[in-house]
């Protein structure tokens, strides 16, 4: 996990890219690092609620946006 995270430590250009990356890291952690997962979960929720999911998804193709929303629902990040 550390290698994967550090490979992209400078982040991406868009907020949605960083959000998606955090969701990927959260999934890949697979419950093995609860402390790290708590921090990532907080970062994901903070981004969604501070900017708004619809605002974050502007410019993302509709089909991809709906798939991402579906993933966020499965992970219980959104209702």
Q: Give me the pLDDT at residue 65, please.
A: 98
Instruction: Give the global pTM.
Output: 0.82
Please report whether residue 24 resides in a domain: yes
Please report whether residue 31 resides in a domain: yes
Q: Give me the pLDDT at residue 48, please.
A: 98
Distances (CA, A) of 60 to 46, 65, 66: 20, 6, 10
- pLDDT, mean over the chain: 90
Residue 9 has pLDDT above 70, yes or no: no
Please report whether residue 37 resides in a domain: yes
62-77: average pLDDT: 98
Please report whether residue 79 resides in a domain: no
Task: Tell me the CA end-to-end span of the chain in Å, nearest whole number.
Answer: 28
Q: For the chain, what is the domain count?
A: 1
Q: Give me the pLDDT at residue 33, please.
A: 85
41-65: average pLDDT: 98
Please report whether residue 38 resides in a domain: yes
Which structural domain range is residue 38 located in?
A: 2-74
């Amino acid at each position: 996990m550390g290698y994967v995270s550090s490979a992209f430590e400078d982040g991406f250009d868009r907020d949605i890219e960083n959000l998606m990356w955090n969701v990927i890291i959260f999934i890949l952690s697979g419950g093995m690092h609860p402390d790290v997962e708590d921090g990532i979960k907080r970062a994901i929720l903070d981004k969604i609620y501070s900017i708004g999911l619809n605002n974050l998804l502007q410019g993302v193709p509709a089909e991809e946006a709906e798939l991402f929303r579906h993933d966020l629902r499965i992970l219980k990040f959104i209702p």
